[in-house]
Amino acid sequence: MELLYPSSLYCLCCGKYTDGSRSYSLCDHCISRMDFAMREFVLPAAGEAAGGQCDEAGRAAAAGGQTDEDGRAAAAAGQTGGIGLSAMGYGLYERQLIFALKYSGKTYVARHIAAILFDCLKKRLAESGDCPWLRADVIVPVPLHAEKQRLRGFNQAERIAFHLSRQTGIPLADGVLLRVRNTRPQRALSAEERKNNMEGAFALSAQRAAAVKGKRVLLIDDIFTTGATAATCAEALRKGGAARVDFLALAAVVRSGKNCADQARPLE
Ligand SMILES: [Zn+2]
């Protein structure tokens, strides 16, 4: 497929032919419609995130006094010791990009998504002189349930993590974190249901848990919505001996004009 239709010649978003010189293989129109604002947030504790939508997770973090004067989550990671970062908002065009990976089977899209993430991390480093996400020892993707992965044929977070690992040089620890229980989409559930939905959903593989023991883990997902998935994964990793878990997603769902975390810090 890649040989017949080189991914760099067609826009990943709309399929339009380009001259192959475009960043992330996106045409000028699509890239101009995307929201490349970086957002940082304190990774909530598992229970907190399960109780609320996206913006509430951010509010919970802010209420805990876990930001510094600049509103930077990184300077003051909360009780969990973890911080989150998203590279983009989640509008129509970003969704199209993620859908191209998830539902069209175009796994090569993951390489471009990883490039967007790596550029975001490098920008954070250039801006602040530090990038905690790049100091990770290992990269761990948010897992799919085995049945869902079998149906889709791959895990999109794992594909992104694989390419980010190659680009950053941070080793990939795949198969460490497992989704042992299939969960329902969080958005359709009440606060109480969300909490129950996530409980016990993730566990560490007994054979591979050593890969994260005492390590700084960078947890990867495609989208950050309620924060419940990231928080529950992070808790399972910490219980399994990870020293610290930070989180990175391509896109964060923005609600009513404000982002998932109150610590919005647009780049431009
Ligand atoms: Zn396009």
User: How many Å lie between the centroid of ligand 1 and the Cα of residue 17?
Assistant: 8
Residues 247 and 219: beta-carbon distance below 8 Å: yes
User: How many Å lie between the centroid of ligand 1 and the Cα of residue 247?
Assistant: 28
User: How many Å lie between the centroid of ligand 1 and the Cα of residue 9?
Assistant: 11
User: How many Å lie between the centroid of ligand 1 and the Cα of residue 30?
Assistant: 4
- The DSSP bridge partners found for residue 178 are 203
- The DSSP bridge partners found for residue 172 are 139
User: How many Å lie between the centroid of ligand 1 and the Cα of residue 268?
Assistant: 23
pLDDT for the residue numbered 226:
80
Enclosing H/E stretch for 203: strand 202-204
User: How many Å lie between the centroid of ligand 1 and the Cα of residue 241?
Assistant: 43
In the chain, what is the greatest distance between 2 CA atoms, to the nearest angstrom?
A: 54
pLDDT for the residue numbered 162:
98
pLDDT tens profile 76-121: 555 567 999 999 999 999 999 999 999 988 899 999 999 999 999 9
User: How many Å lie between the centroid of ligand 1 and the Cα of residue 10?
Assistant: 8
User: How many Å lie between the centroid of ligand 1 and the Cα of residue 103?
Assistant: 17
pLDDT for the residue numbered 85:
97
User: How many Å lie between the centroid of ligand 1 and the Cα of residue 93?
Assistant: 9
**Coil, helix or strand at residue 225:** coil
User: How many Å lie between the centroid of ligand 1 and the Cα of residue 27?
Assistant: 4
User: How many Å lie between the centroid of ligand 1 and the Cα of residue 253?
Assistant: 21
pLDDT, average across residues 162-174:
97
State which residues have CB under 5 angstroms from ligand 1, the bound ion.
11, 13-14, 16, 27, 30
User: How many Å lie between the centroid of ligand 1 and the Cα of residue 96?
Assistant: 10
**35-252 has which fold?**
Rossmann fold (3.40.50)
Edge-to-edge strand ranges of the sheet holding 216-224: 39-42, 83-89, 244-252, 216-224, 138-141
Q: What is the pTM of this model?
A: 0.84
How do the domains of the chain map onto residue ranges?
Answer: 1-33, 35-252
d(CA 14, CA 261): 30
pLDDT band at 228 (very low <50, low <70, confident <90, very high): confident
User: How many Å lie between the centroid of ligand 1 and the Cα of residue 6?
Assistant: 15
pLDDT tens profile 26-59: 999 999 999 999 999 988 787 665 433 334 334 3
